[in-house]
Structure 1
Amino acid sequence: MELHEVASYLEKVGLQYMATIGLDGKPKVRPVQFMVEYGGRLWFCTNSKKSMYAELLKNPWIDLCASKLLEDEIQTAWIRLSAEAVFEENLAVKKMIMEKSAIVHELYENNAEHPLFKVFYLKNIKGSLNNLGHVKGLSERADFAKPEEFEF
């Protein structure tokens, strides 16, 4: 699987769930939205006042999972990945995100240089795209897609 295919799947799903290690040492899971693929990287954003920002500064490792249940449940795919979040002041990415997301545009008053607006990309990505019909320990069926592993 190529990076652009992972980006395309995340885009199609729309909402993902990201797990971080909380400041209290316990896992925290929250909905996030993949924003853009740029420079060979998957970019997300947050607010520097949110706990997620502080958590990622302390421990940048995340897990992310996403799926969109299809009418034919057995054909539903889901993606899971682990990665390291890297914050970078990248004005080009911030402008792209502002153009893409109406909520980001509104929250930060169409100001890509808003001091609370932070962007980060994922590195050391390792994951897989799976099919709900492919379950370890159960008999293999030819009509179920096999997991596609990726690493970037």
Structure 2
Amino acid sequence: MEKEVTVEDVAECLDRMGLQYLATVGLDGKPKVRPVQYMVLSEGKMWFCTNSEKDMYAELQEFPFIDLCASRLEKDEINTSWIRFSAEAVFEENSAVKEAIMQKSAIVHELYKNNPDHPLFKVFYLKNIRGSMNNLGHVKGLEERADFVKPKEFSL
């Protein structure tokens, strides 16, 4: 029996890939995609951060639903893994999470002058996460090969 995907597995995958692309519904009703970085796992929740002056913050206040995709191209391209999921963003004031993010990210630490209480610094976690982990070698409609990792679907 295959191991069920956990929030820890998803967080580790995002850390390994480094940069992710997060899609929101823009205030104009059109999709918006931007690079983001998963920050920390705390109390079983995956946390991200943003700035309250950014469009992403306003979009998530109005439409809290996101899609996220990430990958890191491997030298042997066919073994490149990727992850894609949908979720709902929940903003919450959490000093411990803000401090952990500042410890992890040099740029966040610098931008907000190592002040977790900076008024523009906002954090959010994801809930109702549904998606899959895949690799480029597994493509629907093509012949399945035993040496390719099968997609792993998850709901967290």
In structure 2, the residue matched to 1:78 is 82
The RMSD of aligned alpha carbons is 0.4
Look up the SS of the partner of 1:65 in the other structure.
Answer: strand
Deviations 1:36-62 (A, max 9, x none): 000100000000000000000000000
Q: What's the CA shift for 1:33?
A: 0.1
CA distance in 1, matches of 2:103, 2:82: 27
The code of the aligned residue for 2:61 comes to L
> TM-score by structure 1 length?
0.99
* Runs of 5+ consecutive residues of structure 1 not aligned to the other structure: none
Is it true that 1:33 corresponds to 2:37 in the alignment?
yes
Look up the SS of the partner of 2:84 in the other structure.
Answer: strand
In structure 2, the residue matched to 1:53 is 57
Q: What's the CA shift for 1:70?
A: 0.4
CA distance in 2, matches of 1:71, 1:126: 29
CA distance in 2, matches of 1:31, 1:78: 15
Deviations 1:78-129 (A, max 9, x none): 0000000000000000000011100000000000000000000000000100
* 2:24 corresponds to which of 20, 23, 29: 20
Look up the SS of the partner of 1:31 in the other structure.
Answer: strand
* Aligned residues with identical type, % of pairs: 71
Q: How many residues align?
A: 152
CA distance in 2, matches of 1:142, 1:98: 43
In structure 1, the residue matched to 2:6 is 2
CA distance in 1, matches of 2:154, 2:73: 22
The code of the aligned residue for 2:98 comes to K
Is it true that 1:96 corresponds to 2:88 in the alignment?
no
CA distance in 1, matches of 2:16, 2:51: 24
In structure 2, the residue matched to 1:128 is 132
Q: What's the CA shift for 1:2?
A: 1.0
Look up the SS of the partner of 2:117 in the other structure.
Answer: coil
Q: What's the CA shift for 1:10?
A: 0.3
Look up the SS of the partner of 2:24 in the other structure.
Answer: strand
